[in-house]
Amino acid sequence: VGFEPERRGSHPYLGVDFRTLHSLCNREALLFSFQRHLLSSRLLRGAPHLNPLHILDEDYCGQAKCMLEKVGSWNFDIFLFDRLTNGNSLVFLTFNLLNQYGLIELFQLDMVKLRRFLVLVQEDYHNQNPYHNAVHAADVTQAMHCYLREPKLAQSLTSFDILLGLLAAATHDLDHPGVNQPFLIKTNHYLAALYRNTSVLENHHWRSAVGLLRETELFSHLPVEDSLSIERQLGSLILATDISRQNEYLSRFRTHLDENDLCLGHASHRHFVLQMALKCADICNPCRPWELSKQWSEKVTEEFFHQGDIEKKHKLEISPLCDSEANTIASVQIGFMTYVVEPLFAEWARFSDTRLSQTMLGHLGLNKASWSALEPEASGSSEEGESEPGRATEEPSSRALSQGSQES
């Protein structure tokens, strides 16, 4: 895979190579309308909705400022914050955190370049995606901030690590098309070819972030080795969010914890911990208080079902979890919590045995019980003890989840 950044706006939104698809499948008319639909989405998405260079100068709503005083709280309501900032939560939150950690001063970041960078990042998220939009990125950045403040990390991370962690969180889903990797592969999307069917989305998020860093010249005053190192480490962090590689990261984490050999004085170990922190931040929705968690669950399922509807409409095979007739929000969530979220957060709590970790595990248990109560027949909850032999519901959902269909 090349090391070139992707140019902003150089490809049509969801640029499926329809000529290839056409010659393979002979579905010309159908695919042409599909393409038109996607191209028009791109045009809609491009409509500017904020005034880039002034938004940070304005004395924006006092309530939003007030909320930022509790930006390190696990109950932080990012949806409310997004409304109070008029849809600019990612810009405000990230700017505020970089400032609060003293990173703007320390790295002598140019304010105009930084503002422009953050606004471009926010704009490159698709606000018509129900889930993978700038609010999700802001939420992950806020969670990352909470983890960076945990004693083990706070005592060992360098300013450079913190800068990377926050930037990776803010950009980790940049330009997400709202469909998953299997969809891109089966529609012969140019990104699937570019990244050879491997971490297609994550590579794209990373290369898009690098493109924006270079375009805005945010780090152009640093030695070339440093800005290349930032780009490379940003990639390594973002690529760790590929949920299909979760087992790989989780077993490495588990081994380190079993052997008790994580030495946070070593840069490579700190980097690994940052990868795990970003992975946790990315899928922490089920560990938030129910009122917040429930909204995320609805949004992610809406995005899955929307993909399923496109697949149905174009007679493509419907991806796991994406068929609204075969799944419910509750069933999708219970599977996700059981096979993906619980194992990760159990290890995280072993690593960082703090009140925050206990709070997160507490919400996770309560939220799972709430979904189970809403879905009595599908409640795979082990408490019920009614284990029918040969019940087939668990296997497929575990397989489906590991195929990378979940949020990342």
Ligand X SMILES: *[C@@H]1O[C@H](CO)[C@@H](O)[C@H](O)[C@H]1NC(C)=O
132 in catalytic set: yes
Q: What is the largest CA-CA distance in the chain?
A: 64
Shortest Å distance, C-beta 197 to ligand X: 4
202 binds Zn ion (CB under 5 A): no
Nearer to Zn ion, 6 or 173 (CB): 173
Secondary structure of residue 322 in the 3-state scheme: coil
Q: How many residues does the chain have?
A: 408
- In this structure, how many other beta carbons lie within 10 angstroms of the beta carbon of residue 142? 24
Residue 196 touches which of Zn ion, ligand X, none (Cβ within 5-8 Å per kind): ligand X
Structure tokens at 400: 């489906």
355-360: Cβ within 8 A, 24+ apart: 356/74, 356/146, 356/150, 359/74, 359/287, 360/74, 360/284, 360/287
Structure tokens at 61: 């709503």
Shortest Å distance, C-beta 139 to Zn ion: 9
346-352: Cβ within 8 A, 24+ apart: 347/250, 347/253, 347/254, 347/257, 347/276, 348/276, 348/280, 350/257, 351/152, 351/253, 351/257, 351/262, 351/273, 351/276, 352/147, 352/150, 352/151, 352/152, 352/153
> Binding residue per annotation — 181?
no
> Binding residue per annotation — 188?
no
Residue 282 touches which of ligand X, Zn ion, none (Cβ within 5-8 Å per kind): Zn ion
Selected catalytic residue, list 126, 132, 189, 204: 132
> Binding residue per annotation — 247?
no
Nearer to Zn ion, 64 or 237 (CB): 237
Shortest Å distance, C-beta 196 to ligand X: 4
User: E strands of 62-117, at which residues?
Assistant: none
> Binding residue per annotation — 11?
no
Interaction mask 277-296, Zn ion, x per CB under 5 A: -----x--------------
Shortest Å distance, C-beta 21 to ligand X: 11
Residue 173 touches which of ligand X, Zn ion, none (Cβ within 5-8 Å per kind): Zn ion
Using CA atoms, how far apart are residues 244 and 396, in angstroms rounded to an integer? 15
- In this structure, how many other beta carbons lie within 10 angstroms of the beta carbon of residue 251? 11
Nearer to ligand X, 185 or 318 (CB): 185
CA separation, residue 256 to residues 233, 279, 360 (Å): 21, 17, 22
Secondary structure of residue 189 in the 3-state scheme: strand
Nearer to ligand X, 165 or 404 (CB): 404
Nearer to ligand X, 85 or 187 (CB): 187
Among 173, 175, 202, 303, binds Zn ion (CB under 5 A): 173
Residue 185 touches which of ligand X, Zn ion, none (Cβ within 5-8 Å per kind): ligand X
- Positions in the binding site for ligand X (CB under 6 A): 185, 192, 196-197
Annotation: binding site for AMP: 132-136, 173, 282, 333
- Residue ranges in contact with Zn ion by CB under 5 A: 173, 282
Give the catalytic positions in this structure. Answer: 132
- Binding-site entries: 132-136, 172-173, 282, 333
